[in-house]
Amino acid sequence: MKPPRVEKPHPFSLEYGIANKGGAHITARIWVEKTRKIVRRHILIGGALFLGWPGTCPASPPAADFLVGTAAVKITPTLEKGRPVWMAGFGHGRSADGVHDDLWARALVVTSQGTTLALVSLDLVGYFIGEVDRVRSRLTKADPKLATAGLIISSTHTHSGPDTLGIWGPDNGHSGVDRRYMDSLVERISSAILQAAQNRRPARLFVGCGKTRGLTNDLRLPKILDENLAILQAKDSKGKILVTAVNGSNHPEDLGQKNRQISADYCHWLIRELEERTGAPAVFVNGAIGGLMTPLEVKIDDPDTGHPAPQESYRHAELVGRKIACEALALAAVAHEMGRTGVEIRRREVRIPLNNTLYRAALGLGIMQRGVYTLDQALTGPLGALLGKDIRTEVGIYRIGDLVIGAIPGELYPELSLGQYQEPQDPGADYQGARREPGLRAILGRVASGGGSSASGDSHCLFVIGLANDEIGYIIPRSEWDESPPFCYGRAKKQYGEVNSCGSDTAPVLLEALEKLVGTTRPGGSLPSGVDTKKLHQW
């Protein structure tokens, strides 16, 4: 708080003359001479200011700490006769027969101290890294200034949107991807980012964090929930809200597998509630949703009826979305303004061993399209399925002021987010004595604290963003990998999860890569010495 300003008498005021008369000891002549000198001095100073003499111009107002812009572009697929839109997430042969609510690409662009980060949320089941690369190329051509910007394109993972990965087509032998639609996505996503960049304006940023309660279920043992909720809110100099970004962890599959209408699921009502309550755009990015973090089987009372909302219904999804929005707004009401400025970008390319035979078969048949690498050579189609070893993906750690963001290219199990594992290890697990991976929140907490230790990251507001710049499937703790009998918990068959994972090496490789990023701070675009630029890219 500034001390109260003490106003001095103006030189031409009566108070000034009286104060400097010295009573009867100052004659009128002396007073006149003093007045003339004062007048001459003020004329000289005024002239200097008018003419702009060096050293006399008033300082220009300081540059804004942050520039923030947003935009939203509709990405709802067109339903045409004879051209089915295959819906993703549950099974084969589920074609859309209508649109309940539109799907969107929502972009948030933040610039500080010359560095820019673009965050995009897609109402899609996932978006492969090859498509992200196409967006990067499109942005570079459209605006060379954005070529050096950081980019996070994350999917909400709605199970009521189009198949953008290939594995939910009419049957298990045909892809569900519409290449024409995928081409249009590149243009629409790029357009959202470019519009958001153009809409940037000075802003103050606020962050808040807390928990959601009773909105998430875990369908796989051990039951561990990541109920962390965090918000980033931008306001202008007058306190008007410009945008609210929310990060939480929950599968948008509340409408169930019988739904045949295109929808963003609970995310639709979450965004609508935020925007109606704040009068400003909103963005939602999903978090650690593996495991399986879901609103399915969660009991929620409907205030309109006094009874529980029906499972797998639009009403249930609406209540989930609105409740998350209300909790986010409660956090925003007590959020603190950032005490730190700047944007930092840390990104590392990673190779993941592809040990999933079903994934390889899908790649060989062209159902999924992405390269499989042998050394630095990308192989595709049957050749890649047979001879390729690894897939290429990436991880990232970013900072916007006080907010540290971890970007993961798939569906992270909550154990890996929290660093909480079943102890002792179940005797049915495949890798007895496997090392427990470091929790992502603890890694991000070290970044937030300037490299110091952080047991869980709970003392910092963090964003954990899943399906970021890729979708490689489930990321499962190695100590819980359970593909071979005897199965964990005395079960007669294995739990769901491993069938949609690249393999048991995925989690160790990704978390190790994130740990290595902690020491590679890159403020303002400069790379520290000794960093392998082949694996840490600036784009």
Q: What is the pLDDT along the chain (539 residues), one digit of tens a residue?
A: 434 433 333 332 333 232 333 333 333 333 334 444 443 444 333 443 333 333 333 333 344 589 999 999 999 999 999 999 999 999 999 999 999 999 999 999 999 999 999 999 999 999 999 999 999 999 999 998 887 789 999 999 999 999 999 999 999 999 999 999 999 999 999 999 999 999 999 999 999 999 999 999 999 999 999 999 999 999 999 999 999 999 999 999 999 999 999 999 999 999 999 999 999 999 999 999 999 999 999 999 999 999 999 999 999 999 999 999 999 999 999 999 998 899 999 999 999 999 999 999 999 999 999 999 998 899 999 999 999 999 999 999 999 999 999 999 999 999 999 999 999 999 999 999 999 999 999 999 999 987 555 455 566 899 999 999 999 999 999 999 999 999 999 999 999 999 999 999 999 999 999 999 997 644 333 323 233 333 332 22
Range of the domain at 491: 343-517
Structure tokens at 382: 């049957």
Contact 307, 369 (CB under 8 A): no
Residue 20 belongs to a domain = yes
Contact 248, 326 (CB under 8 A): no
Q: Are strands 372-374 and 228-235 parallel, antiparallel or unpaired?
A: unpaired
Helices 28-51 and 14-21: crossing angle, nearest 10°?
130
Residue 512 belongs to a domain = yes
Residue 99 φ/ψ, nearest 5 degrees:
-125, 115
Residue 130 belongs to a domain = no
Tokens 């010295």 sit on residue:
22
Distance CA 248, CA 245 (A): 10
Distance CA 488, CA 495 (A): 8
The residue among 6, 29, 51 that closes a domain is: 51
Q: In angstroms, what CA-CA distances link 216 with 231, 293, 310, 322, 408?
A: 18, 6, 16, 14, 20
3-state secondary structure of 132: helix
Residue 156 belongs to a domain = no
First to last CA, the chain: 42
What is residue 277's predicted lDDT score, i.e. its pLDDT?
Answer: 98
Count of domains observed in the chain: 2
Query: What are all long-range contacts of 520-524, with beta carbons under 8 Å and residues at least 24 apart?
Result: 520/346, 520/348, 521/344, 521/346, 522/344, 522/345, 522/346, 523/113, 523/115, 523/342, 523/344, 524/113, 524/114, 524/115, 524/342
Contacts of 468 (CB under 8 A, 6+ apart): 152, 153, 154, 396, 407, 408, 409
Task: Count Cβ neighbours within 10 Å for each residue of 98-133 and write b for 16 or more, e otherwise.
Answer: ebbbebbbbbbbbbbeebbbbbbbbbbbbbbbebbe
What is residue 519's predicted lDDT score, i.e. its pLDDT?
Answer: 75
Residue 162 belongs to a domain = no
Q: In angstroms, what CA-CA distances link 287 with 293, 371, 468?
A: 10, 26, 9
Beta-carbon-side half-sphere exposure of residue 451 (alpha carbons within 13 Å): 5
- Residue 468: other Cβ atoms inside 10 A: 32
Distance CA 235, CA 484 (A): 53
What is residue 534's predicted lDDT score, i.e. its pLDDT?
Answer: 33
Residue 496 belongs to a domain = yes
Contact 315, 293 (CB under 8 A): no
Distance CA 466, CA 272 (A): 22
| Angle (CA) 522 527 529, round 5° | 125
Residue 35 belongs to a domain = yes
What is residue 452's predicted lDDT score, i.e. its pLDDT?
Answer: 52
Query: What are all long-range contacts of 169-173, with beta carbons under 8 Å and residues at least 24 apart?
Result: 169/86, 169/92, 169/367, 170/84, 170/86, 170/92, 170/93, 170/95, 171/92, 171/93, 172/92, 173/365, 173/367
pTM reported for the whole predicted model: 0.85
Residue 393 pairs in a beta bridge with 350
| Angle (CA) 151 385 84, round 5° | 65
Residue 262 belongs to a domain = no
